[in-house]
Amino acid sequence: MFDLSHLRSFIAVAEEMHFGRAAGRLNLTQSPLSRQVQLLEQSLGVTLLERTTRTVRLTSAGRTFLAEAHRVLETAERAQQLTRRVAKGEAGVVTLGFTSSSAYRTLPRVVSLIRTALPGLDLILEEMVTVGQIEALAARRIDLGLLRPPRMALDDGLRITLAPLLREQLLLAAPQGHALATGRQPSLRDLDQQPFITWAPGGGSYFVDLLTDLFRNSGIVPHIVQRVNQTHTMLALVGAGMGLALVPDAARSIHMAGVVLRPIELPDATSTELLLAWRNDNDNPVLPALRALVLDAFADGEGRSS
């Protein structure tokens, strides 16, 4: 079987049409160069070059093989370059899980950041709820996760790191024309007995638990009229006049008609949190650079523009 050195020797002779010039090009003497070409011909079982004491000429098989030899070398060089870049963390494949609410603001920032700083990276995105991301990390189906603080205890054997990435305040979403859509800053007490739209347990268990605790601790009992899985659906129902809602600040990116988003007075430290998660034993070479890139960009808890 021939190797890449045989191909390089043949290409040099075929392009120079002269063994002496080809040998100089490759920093070889003519004898080993001639031997390389002979070994290639023996491996293929065909004559590639017609030689005389004065001339060298390609056979028809040689002309065909020359084009293929160039393609093989180009492919091998690309493979070498890519392998080196992967080993240095400059290229490769990373699968990133994300929650639906992170897609409004945080995910686009993260994707833009990665595409700018690591253009050789192939990024695969998977939308999942937090529990699904923890399971996917455990099964090594994803490399990183953008998720909410999980409510269940993590198995120590999983060796998953959860790093704070972003904190967002909750905003009041009110229908345009509603009494709480204008005037003084609303407070949590204003939601008592008000028609309220919230998350369904399956799609937004983090928010369900957050609001349940918030209302219970404050003695507030809103009248829940609808439970949905997505923030944009919630805002659409608010815009239709069905009720009020509390949504993360990222909802400002949705721009839903007929909806007013306002700061609301809440107990201290009431906010939503987004985490970056990964397995400590993930040996994907690009992961350390990518993690550092994202964590640094969000070091202020808001995400700096890249």
DSSP assignment string, 206-253: HHHHHHHHHHHHHT---EEEEEES-HHHHHHHHHTTS-BEEEEGGGGG
Strand (E) or helix (H) holding 13: helix 4-16
Q: Which of 139, 107, 113, 112 is nearest to 125 (CA)?
A: 107
The Cα 116–Cα 68 span in angstroms is 35
Residues 143 and 182 in one domain: no
Residues 182 and 245 in one domain: yes
Residues 241 and 118 in one domain: no
The Cα 278–Cα 275 span in angstroms is 10
Q: Could you tell me if residue 156 is inside a domain?
A: yes
Q: How many CA atoms lie within 13 A of 231 on its CB side?
A: 25
Domain tally for the chain?
3
Residues 240 and 159 in one domain: no
The Cα 62–Cα 81 span in angstroms is 28
Range of the domain at 12: 4-87
Q: Which of 103, 101, 163, 158 is nearest to 135 (CA)?
A: 158
Residues 258 and 277 in one domain: no
Q: Rounded to 10 degrees, what is the CA torsion of 240, 241, 245, 249?
A: 50
CATH of the domain at 73: 1.10.10.10
Q: Which amino acid is at 66?
A: L
Q: Could you tell me if residue 245 is inside a domain?
A: yes
The one-character DSSP state at 2 is -
Q: Could you tell me if residue 303 is inside a domain?
A: no
Residues 201 and 129 in one domain: no
Max Cα distance, the chain (Å): 102
Q: Could you tell me if residue 161 is inside a domain?
A: yes
Helix (H, G, I), strand (E, B) or coil at 146: strand
Residues 232 and 281 in one domain: no
Residue finishing a domain among 72, 87, 102 = 87
Placement of tokens 């638990």 in the chain: 209
Mean pLDDT by 10 residues, the chain (306 residues): 85 89 89 89 90 85 90 81 63 89 92 91 92 92 94 76 93 96 95 95 83 94 94 95 95 93 89 94 91 92 47
The one-character DSSP state at 198 is E
The Cα 175–Cα 301 span in angstroms is 30
Residues 223 and 109 in one domain: no
Residues 160 and 178 in one domain: no
Say what the pLDDT of residue 306 is: 34
Q: Could you tell me if residue 241 is inside a domain?
A: yes
Q: Could you tell me if residue 306 is inside a domain?
A: no
Q: Could you tell me if residue 73 is inside a domain?
A: yes
Say what the pLDDT of residue 277 is: 96
The distance in angstroms from the start CA to the end CA of the chain is 50
Q: Could you tell me if residue 107 is inside a domain?
A: yes
Contact 256, 239 (CB under 8 A): yes
Strand (E) or helix (H) holding 19: helix 19-26
Residues 49 and 108 in one domain: no
Length of the chain: 306
Contact 96, 143 (CB under 8 A): yes
CATH of the domain at 259: 3.40.190.10
Residues 82 and 108 in one domain: no
What pTM was estimated for this model as a whole?
A: 0.68
Q: Which amino acid is at 12?
A: A
The Cα 123–Cα 268 span in angstroms is 38
Q: Which amino acid is at 302?
A: E
The one-character DSSP state at 57 is E
Residue finishing a domain among 43, 71, 87 = 87
Residue finishing a domain among 70, 87, 104 = 87
Residues 202 and 213 in one domain: yes
